[in-house]
Amino acid sequence: MTHWIYEDGIGEERAALIEHGRIVEARIQRSDMPLGCGAVVEGRLLAKSAGGHRARVALADGSEAMLQPVPKELSEGKTLRAEVLREVLFEPGTARHKPARLRAVTNATPLTPGPTLLERITADGHEITRTSAHGPDLLAQAGWHDILAEAETGQIDFTGGSLTLSPTPAMMVIDVDGDIAPRALGLAAATQAALAIRRHGIGGGVVIDFPTLADKADRNAVANYFDAAMTLPCERTAINGFGLMQIVLKRTRPSLIELHAADPVRWHLLAALRSAERDGGTGTLTLTLSPPESLALAREWSLVHGLEQRTGRPVAVAPVAA
């Protein structure tokens, strides 16, 4: 049976789609991401690009977003309402980010923060099992922590080989490595790569570096294995003589791998809060955090209040040495 497991956590919502007893999609939606995909926001047009096809928009929270296309009647300085088509994306290894992408809507369109993760998965029509810290850890039983480890390390092992997923500012790069025959490695990796793309919510451009296969029939067989396992709409190239295949998918929000790469401190902090919420003890609940995590928590003390309310226990923070 295909069904969702959903958890309303502290600072984030979590969900996993289960098929045949394993997680095929893992999703996290952070509460600190106000420009969620599907939100309708108000802003002021700052400047159009050369040709007028795109424009920078100043939003009420002080951030900027990119409007594309730009309605002809909109001039610089005018206010507008727009729907968020793609959330802010942080470029790994840099301090830069790609601004949210907007689509203009009528001024009569109501302002909305966009759907929650629960609303998004409800729209799928699958049964939803809600889990909480007071019951069995259904997410962990389904393999949630293994998925998080994949997102943190970028490593996915399978019989005879492994994938290394590396987010870059331009695309996600998937490198295939292994010690079995190149054709067998390529076939196995094609299936695993397709499953990983869906599992982690990877969108945009993806390049897979398969083992080099001289025979075109072998390259076509690998591509066919990928197609058979890929259940998301996408476009792809053929595998060239160097073993490279490029895939393009719809991209609306960061993947789990990009979410971790953009802010590993917050990633581990929220994981610590999840673990603390499940602590079955009594008395003061002590959070043992790294200095960066402690600093991040001090800037958002509401997370501590949330933990205290859910557990009914006072919370103390015990930073560990760097």
* Nearest in space to 178 (alpha carbons), one of 195, 166, 190: 190
Q: Which domain holds residue 187?
A: 145-256
Residue 281 lies inside a defined structural domain of this protein: yes
Structure tokens at 23: 């997680």
Q: Are residues 86 and 196 in the same domain?
A: no
Q: Is the pLDDT of residue 166 over 90?
A: yes
Average pLDDT over residues 112-132: 95
Q: Are residues 138 and 149 in the same domain?
A: no
The domain boundary, picked from 232, 256, 280, lies at 256
Give the pLDDT confidence score for residue 96 in this predicted structure.
77
Q: Are residues 137 and 150 in the same domain?
A: no
Taking only the tens place, the pLDDT of each residue in 190-229 is: 999 999 999 999 999 999 999 999 999 999 999 999 999 9
Give the pLDDT confidence score for residue 55 in this predicted structure.
95
Give the pLDDT confidence score for residue 300 in this predicted structure.
94
Q: Is the pLDDT of residue 89 over 70?
A: yes
Residue 181: Cβ within 10 Å count: 11
46-82 as b/e: b if 16+ CB within 10 A = eebeeeeebbbbebeeebebbbeebeeebeeeeebbb
Taking only the tens place, the pLDDT of each residue in 49-88 is: 877 789 999 998 888 999 999 998 899 999 999 999 999 9
Taking only the tens place, the pLDDT of each residue in 14-47 is: 999 999 999 999 999 998 876 899 999 999 999 9
Give the CATH number of the domain where residue 23 resides: 3.30.420
Q: Are residues 177 and 304 in the same domain?
A: no
Write down the pTM of the prediction: 0.93
Total domains, the chain: 4
Give the pLDDT confidence score for residue 319 in this predicted structure.
76
* Rounded Cα–Cα distance for residues 79 and 75 (Å): 9
Give the pLDDT confidence score for residue 50 in this predicted structure.
79
Average pLDDT over residues 240-263: 96
Q: Are residues 134 and 46 in the same domain?
A: no
Q: Is 118 helix (H, G, I), strand (E, B) or coil?
A: helix
Average pLDDT over residues 164-172: 93
Give the pLDDT confidence score for residue 95 in this predicted structure.
65
Structure tokens at 47: 């400047």
Start-end of H helices in the chain = 117-122, 138-141, 144-153, 182-200, 216-229, 256-262, 264-277, 291-299, 302-311
Q: Are residues 24 and 125 in the same domain?
A: yes
H or E element at residue 82 = strand 79-86
Give the CATH number of the domain where residue 252 resides: 3.40.630
Give the pLDDT confidence score for residue 32 in this predicted structure.
81
Give the pLDDT confidence score for residue 60 in this predicted structure.
86
Taking only the tens place, the pLDDT of each residue in 142-157 is: 999 999 999 999 999 9
Mean pLDDT, the chain, whole residue set: 94
Residue 20 lies inside a defined structural domain of this protein: yes
